[in-house]
Structure 1
Amino acid sequence: MTHPWFRGITPPRVLAHRGLVMPEAAAEGIAENSFAAVAAAHSAGAPYVESDCHLTADGVVVLFHDEDLSRVTGDPRRIADVTLTELEQLMAERGGLITLQQALDAFPTVRFNLDVKAEDAAVPVGTAVAPFADRVLVTSFSDDRRRRALDAAAAKGGGIRPATSGGTRTIARVLAAVTARSDRLVARALAGVDALQVPERRGRIRVVTPRLIAAAHRHDVEVHVWTVNAPDDMRRLIGMGVDGIVTDRADIALDALS
């Protein structure tokens, strides 16, 4: 059965990568993964927002990509070493900090694609999203971290589990199975997975191929490609059969793929 995260929205899916920060907003200091960035993606009509989860020193899950604050705020400290209040102050002029709970509450029609970045964030993320599992997809480069979040959501209860996308090991197993032309191994690798979210290439290796897409689709798994910002590339990938595009310019993608 298709997870509710996918239902009611016809592919191609547009996932707003860390929200949406238009050039003029960036010039004013608005940061990715801020409250303003999520609001801008929602305002542009993006049905999905892709974001990242870290845990503050006082145990609050926040939407933030990097492990530390240096790139976004100039502060060298790690997210895990600052409190929620300190982080709110640092982000006040950068579009405003947004916690995971605030995102889920303030944007009830947005479906979130959440990458669990920090080990300590896995259980808090799963616990927080359990009541909203119908509109959350949980992913991580670490399959172990992803599964811990899913287990925490199940333990909290809520009726259904969040959707999920395979981590690095899952993707490697799928690619090996596709190369070996073994549909049995593909099925085993994709067990419990709703989507594969992958780059088009990894170095010299082409990840997204017609064979990969066909193999995923045979097992009712979607393929989403990150991070694609050029309209011609978006259209080319969708033409190959890709189901979704993760992009920094959701506004452009919604226009190009309409």
Structure 2
Amino acid sequence: MTHPWFEGTAPPRVLAHRGLVRSEDAAHGIAENSFAAVAAAHAAGCDYVESDCHLTADGRVVLFHDEDLSRVTGDPRQVAQVSARELEKLMAQRGGLITLVQALDAFPDVRFNLDVKVPDAAVPVGRLIAPHAERVLVTSFSDDRRREALEAALAAGAGIRPATSAGTATIVRLLGALAVRSDRLVHRALADVDALQVPERRGPVRIVTKRLIEAAHRHGVEVHVWTVNDPVAMRRLVARGVDGIVTDRADIALRILKD
């Protein structure tokens, strides 16, 4: 059965990578993963927002990508070393801090793609998304971490398991299975995932191939490619059968892929 996260919107899916920050917004100090960035993606008509989850010193789950604050705010401390209130002050002139609770409440018609960045955030994320499981996809480079979040959501009363995409170990197993042409091993690798969210290539290794796309589709799994900002590349990947594009320019992607 298709998870509700995928229903109602036909591929190609446009996933707003950390929200939407246009060049003019960035010039005014608006940062990725801010309240303003998520609001801009929503206003542009994007159904899907990709974001990242960290845990503050006082246990609040916030949408933030890096472990430390230096790149976004100039503060050298880690997210885990500051309280949500401190982070609110630091983000006040950068589009505003947005917590996971705020994101889910303020944008009830947005479907979130949440990357659990640190082990301590897995259970809190799972508990918070439990009432919203039909519109959340959980991912992480760590398969253990994403599974922990999924289990926490079910334990907290989620009526359905949140959607999920493969971690690094699962993708490595899948690539090995494809290399030896074993559909049995492909099935085992994809058994607990709804999507593969991958870069087109990693160094010299091409990950998104015709064989990978066909195998994923054969097992009911979508393929989403990150992070694609070039319109030519967007069109090329969709023409090859990719189901979703994760992009910093959701506005452009919506215009060229959905018209």
Secondary structure of residue in 1 paired with 2:5:
coil
**d(CA) in 1 for partners of 2:121 and 2:149?**
8
Secondary structure of residue in 2 paired with 1:146:
helix
**d(CA) in 1 for partners of 2:229 and 2:84?**
32
**d(CA) in 1 for partners of 2:38 and 2:122?**
22
Q: Deviations over 1:75-128 (max 9, x none)?
A: 000000000100000000000000000000000000000000011000000000
The equivalent of 1:55 in structure 2 is 55
How many equivalent pairs are there? Answer: 258
For 1:69-148, list aligned pairs within 5 A: 69-148=69-148
**d(CA) in 1 for partners of 2:175 and 2:235?**
23
Unaligned runs of 5+ in 2: none
**d(CA) in 2 for partners of 1:77 and 1:128?**
25
For 1:114-193, list aligned pairs within 5 A: 114-193=114-193
| Letter in structure 2 aligned against 1:79 | V
Q: Deviations over 1:19-54 (max 9, x none)?
A: 000100000000000000000000000110000000
Q: TM-score, normalised by structure 1?
A: 1.00
Q: CA deviation at 1:158?
A: 2.1
**d(CA) in 2 for partners of 1:40 and 1:257?**
18
The equivalent of 1:218 in structure 2 is 218
Q: CA deviation at 1:140?
A: 0.1
Secondary structure of residue in 1 paired with 2:229:
coil
Q: CA deviation at 1:243?
A: 0.2
Q: Deviations over 1:192-248 (max 9, x none)?
A: 100000000000000000000000000000000000001110000000000000000
**d(CA) in 1 for partners of 2:79 and 2:158?**
29
Is 1:18 the equivalent of 2:14?
Answer: no
**d(CA) in 2 for partners of 1:133 and 1:158?**
6
| Letter in structure 1 aligned against 2:30 | I
Is 1:209 the equivalent of 2:190?
Answer: no
Q: CA deviation at 1:157?
A: 1.0
Secondary structure of residue in 2 paired with 1:127:
helix
Secondary structure of residue in 2 paired with 1:49:
strand
**d(CA) in 1 for partners of 2:134 and 2:159?**
9
Unaligned runs of 5+ in 1: none
Q: TM-score, normalised by structure 2?
A: 0.99
| Letter in structure 1 aligned against 2:100 | L
Question: Runs of at least 4 residues of structure 1 off by over 2 A?
Answer: none
| Letter in structure 1 aligned against 2:91 | M
**d(CA) in 2 for partners of 1:155 and 1:24?**
43
| Letter in structure 2 aligned against 1:106 | A
| Letter in structure 1 aligned against 2:163 | A
Secondary structure of residue in 2 paired with 1:53:
strand
The equivalent of 1:195 in structure 2 is 195
**d(CA) in 2 for partners of 1:92 and 1:102?**
15
